Structure 1
């Protein structure tokens, strides 16, 4: 989508939230949306644009959605679309693959998959790319997908969102204990900054959403309890690369696509920063710069691991994805039983 399609990127940016953009390039792909880095008079920022057909799960669907965005942008701006961008197929138009809702790291494949093919890489692929691509198939359908999709589409209740925040508390309680333990370890330090810490924001959100007695009123669903226990097991083992696998899966997901969730929930339920502070990563500075540095750290980690250990890390990332999906399944079941 970049390179030969710079004009198309600019049209999409101008039509969907950045009317004064002077340049735009695609920098991210997720199940729910694409992400563009746009240049405006005030500087650069990321622009997240939802896919027109809803959540996606397979690489060929990316090109379909980008083409649909291009055509929609042309319609909004009164521009005649080029003939090469014929109407994309509607097959699978409403496939429900929203289980992760971008909660579970970056969508694998990267921005250059917008044309349906991975970018050629000279020699061995960077480890950050391997991780993204290896977990793409884990953005699959599940009986709990509707729980997260309802939140993403503005159909979920405020209680649904509160239940999700509560699960985050138990996940991050375990994850940030692991981060504290390995904070001084040179192998872990490049991945974690104090500005990433989510527990203070989670506690503030829960106090605002539930009340001062929130600790007595929340509980982990079984999948969340298992998820947190797995993080503690990896920590006790002293397996730094395994902690990184969970760190990557959670933080980069909530830092990226979580921004869309925050906007939608805040608008739907009349929340200001209070209640959605969990998704406020302003202290990190440029999120784009941070994510680029994080990927470089992953690439460096990969160079220090042998093939067996690399595969073990990939398996742990996929395990984190599975836990994430299971949490949504449990939340969906609990909601249905209520």
Structure 2
């Protein structure tokens, strides 16, 4: 049996638990627990996936073999998860989502997280990347059925599915892999926090346009603001002169410049594209990064305040509201503007990946 490395398992489970929560529940109901109320993916191997399932009788461990047989390479995981989803739909008598139909499989997932997420992602989720988007067809004839979705696919789902491969790209950056596997140094983490400062300096300046517009204000409540936490983290990690001791890598500078360009244009949907990519990764896979870094480098709240969203209240409720706001935005945009926004989401993931690559190169050069 192939045993995947911890970072791969963390990336896959983080993505499934952040972006595919309803699919986890559907799989549990289809494979032995028809009355399941909760389901989280907790493991991945070459033979199949594992879930922690909760129903009225308590918590259970569920192992499900991959439909196509044993696998040995990471890229095969996604394909097998998709096939497992289809099998579960068939068992429950549910029509699979359009993006998982054979003809659409490459157009959706292959084209193109976090959290983590493996940035999981440090955000992106960081990786991360995880976004917590729910699928419209979860549920079924067993357990509590969800209403079948008819009509256009919710825009939040379109965004999530179109950026799948971009999550994988960022999760594969060696710099972030080291942090996720617990082999990165404390300086690696400090360097990541420094890049976050320059990213969020631009992003939160741009996000004031969202807060000021009633049509976009739900995306950016005051409790989401990260700059004070980043400044506190850098003070703790670097010292009082932290502003003079940090600088952006080229990819971060380009990333911030792109955000400022969009803000200067006043393109609110473009600001949301970057806002979504960063914040939902921080709320998903970023939480995994905080736990691992805190344990490895013996940090308490000081040094990881960036990932503390206590003032936001329920993270799950916020992400649900965020998805609803994305869906409402999608209904207001015409086809051309929707496509333009999706391209910007993909560009945001590319910027994040480039930042990790630059951080890795800088680390190698300093060695």
Q: 1:234 to 1:9 in 2, by over 3 A?
A: farther
User: Paired residue for 1:42?
Assistant: none
How far does residue 136 in structure 1 lie from its aligned partner after superposition?
A: 0.7
The residue matched to 2:333 in structure 1 has which SS? coil
Superposition pairs for residues 223-234 of structure 1, below 5 Å? 223-234=251-262
* Map 1:10-159 → 2, pairs under 5 A: 24-26=37-39, 36=40, 51-53=43-45, 67-70=48-51, 89-93=70-74, 100-102=119-121, 103-104=123-124, 105-106=129-130, 110=134, 121-141=149-169, 145-159=173-187
The residue number in structure 2 matching 1:211 is 239
Q: CA deviation at 1:141?
A: 4.0
Q: CA separation in 1, counterparts of 2:180 and 2:137?
A: 23
1:219-252 per-position Cα deviation (integer Å, ceiling 9, x unaligned) = 0000000000000000000001110111111000
- For the 8 Å contact 1:255–1:279, the answer to whether it is kept is yes
1:139 alignment partner, SS class: helix
- Give the equivalent residue in structure 2 for 1:236: 264
1:183 is displaced (CA, Å) by 1.8
The change in CA–CA distance for 1:336 and 1:51 in structure 2 (over 3 A counts) is: farther
After superposition, the CA RMSD in angstroms is 3.6
- Structure 1 gap ranges (5+): 11-21, 27-35, 37-48, 54-63
Picking from 277, 282, 286, the partner of 1:254 is 282
- Aligned match of 1:275: 303
Task: Mark the CA change 1:4 to 1:274 in structure 2 (over 3 Å): closer, same or farther.
Answer: closer
1:201 to 219, 224, 229: 229
The aligned residue for residue 296 of structure 1 is: 324
Q: Which runs of 5+ in 2 are unaligned?
A: 1-23, 78-113, 139-146
Contact persistence 1:99–1:141 (CA under 8 A):
no
**Change in CA separation of 1:113 and 1:122 when aligned onto 2, cut-off 3 Å:** closer
How far 1:139 sits from its partner (Å)? 2.5
Task: Give how far 1:135 is off.
Answer: 0.6
| Equivalent of 2:219 in 144, 166, 191 | 191
8 A Cα contact 2:252 2:355, kept in partner: yes
3-state SS, counterpart of residue 176 of structure 1:
helix
Partner-residue secondary structure (3-state), 1:68: strand
Q: Which residue of 1 aligns with 2:28?
A: 5
Q: Distance in 2 between matches of 1:81 and 1:313?
A: 38
After superposition, the Cα gap between the structure-2 partners of 1:147 and 1:111, relative to the gap in structure 1 and judged at 3 Å, is farther
How many matched pairs? 289
The answer on 1:305 being equivalent to 2:318 is no
TM-score normalised according to structure 1 size: 0.75
Whether the aligned pair in 2 keeps the contact of 1:8 and 1:70 (CA below 8 Å) is no
Cα shift at 1:137: 1.8
Match of 1:123, SS?
A: coil
